[in-house]
Amino acid sequence: MKLLKRLPRGRTLGVAGAVGALVAGGLILAPMVSASASAGCRVTYTTNQWPGGFTANIGITNLGDPVTSWTLGWTFGDAGQKVGQGWSATYTQSGASVTARSMDYNGALGTGASTSIGFNGTWTSANPTPSTFTLNGVTCTGSVSTPSPTTQSPSPSKSPSASASPSRSPSGSPSTSPSTPPQGGTPLSVNGQLHVCGVNLCNQYNKAIQLRGMSTHGIQWFASCVNGTSLDALANDWKADLLRIAMYVQEQGYETNPSGFTAQVNNYVDLAEARGMYAIIDFHTLTPGDPNYNLDRAKTFFASVAQRNSAKKNVIYEIANEPNGVSWQGIKSYAEQVIPVIRAADPDAVVIVGTRGWSSLGVSDGSSETEIVNSPVNATNIMYAFHFYAASHKDNYRSTVARAAKLLPLFVTEFGTVSATGGGATDLSSTGAWLDLLDQNKISYANWTYSDANESSAAFKPGTCAAGSYTNSSSLSESGTYVRNRIRTADNFPTS
């Protein structure tokens, strides 16, 4: 399944460093400038705001002695600011004073360790940035940053509630259910920490679920399509469960600026979490096709993002996008070296392994799923990737997936409604047959792509991301219209 993604011309975007600003379709995400604290803690504070409301994301780093729990305190500069729905902490407010107390899964912070929290809030006449933060009573001195008050973004209504966030569970086993299952809520707040059970992706109640969502295009080219406004649309208008973050390694990607791309990926993870969506961190290897070429880069990258996101429940790791020109044994060897790096920092997250022949389970190389069944990766809590492009891959590929789904945990981390080039006419008949098969087997999927690339696989028409009108139906391509309608149908997330 040779997926030759068409590379955009004239759309190359420079990638800022680890604290660089991302400017995206009118929404300015302020750089996360760390306070130069000398009193044992460092705090970063960034907001996306709109008339009357805002979302705040707060990064906390403990520079002092290790702690087993923490309380972060600050005072709003405007008495009209109020904390609303929050995540990753328990919030209380008295007047302008706010405290955020750690959860059971993120309270332990060693020296130099970090965690992140956030909330949706409201404001009246102004929305100034808090000037002082304290961690367990110790003042974190220095500067913090926030976007310009003129920044506009629709109010996000999908963000995980701290009260609906039970503790994480060991790999491969369900976490303890809350005494009262949540009613409604976001995909993340309902399902919590995911794990693999048998051939299924399962939620915190040990029930098989299916996630449905979208993949970005290469974030080195289409960062303007991934911002607070576009992800509000994905969560609330599309009602998606999932954002796949396609970080190319070559092709002007990660290898050109490791720290900058790592920071960009982490920011997108936070944006997805704030909207109650899961995030796949995709190490998008394509050319060269042997993932072992990037083994050292993979170890460095996944060690960093797994450590940084270890307390999050919404992260899934995809360690090799589309292996090609390499044997299954070569892919397996790579996986068995990278997975332990992730597990060292994040022991209970789901990991997805790419498969032979552009993640076709070997079919595009004249093989089949039997090579994986006979020699699986020596690791637990993993799934195997399958990719298809509906106009190119039809009955023989579907037959393989139908057969393999009974033996292997599969995740369609990428599919297109068009040909394997990413272009050509949409084949909605074949796409429908594919999605029906995935629905029947509760196989999760992400569509290529949530972008306005000048190709028929893109969900939006060219120019949409610059205009920022993601909920305008006239902005959708034929592919985007079809996929949005499929994703918008009701989820089935059992809790008992």
Q: Is 322 a catalytic residue?
A: yes
Q: At what angle do helices 428-440 and 478-488 cross, to 10 degrees?
A: 20
Q: How far apart are CA 376 and CA 336, in angstroms?
A: 10
The answer to whether 84 and 77 have CB atoms below 8 angstroms apart is: no
C-alpha 143/C-alpha 129 separation (Å) is 10
Determine whether 17 is exposed, middle or buried from the number of CB atoms within 10 Å of its CB (0-12, 13-18, 19+): exposed
Residue among 322, 369, 371, 455 flagged as catalytic: 322
Active-site residue flag, 273: no
Q: Say if strands 351-353 and 382-389 run parallel, antiparallel, or are unpaired.
A: parallel
One-letter identity of residue 260? G
| Annotated catalytic residue within 273, 318, 371, 414 | 414
Q: Which residue has the tokens 């090579």?
A: 371
Give the Cα separation of 490 and 496 in Å (integer).
18
Q: Report CA-CA distances (Å) from 266 to 64, 294, 297.
A: 24, 20, 17
User: Cβ distance 379 to 354 under 8 Å?
Assistant: no
Which has the closest alpha carbon to 214: 3, 495, 487? 487
> How would DSSP label each residue in 415-474?
EESS-TTS-S---HHHHHHHHHHHHHTT--EEEE-SS--SSTT-SB-TTHHHHT-TT-GG
The rounded distance, in Å, linking the Cα atoms of 304 and 346 is 11
Cα distance between residue 364 and residue 394, in whole Å:
12
Helix (H, G, I), strand (E, B) or coil at 38: coil
Chain position carrying tokens 């800022």: 16
Kindly compute the dihedral angle of the four CA atoms of residues 282, 288, 293, 299, in this order, to the nearest 10 degrees.
-10
The CA-atom distances, in angstroms, between 298 and each of 262, 304, 340, 372 are 11, 10, 12, 22
Q: Where are the beta strands (DSSP E) in 51-89?
A: 53-62, 71-75, 82-87
Residues involved in catalysis: 322, 414
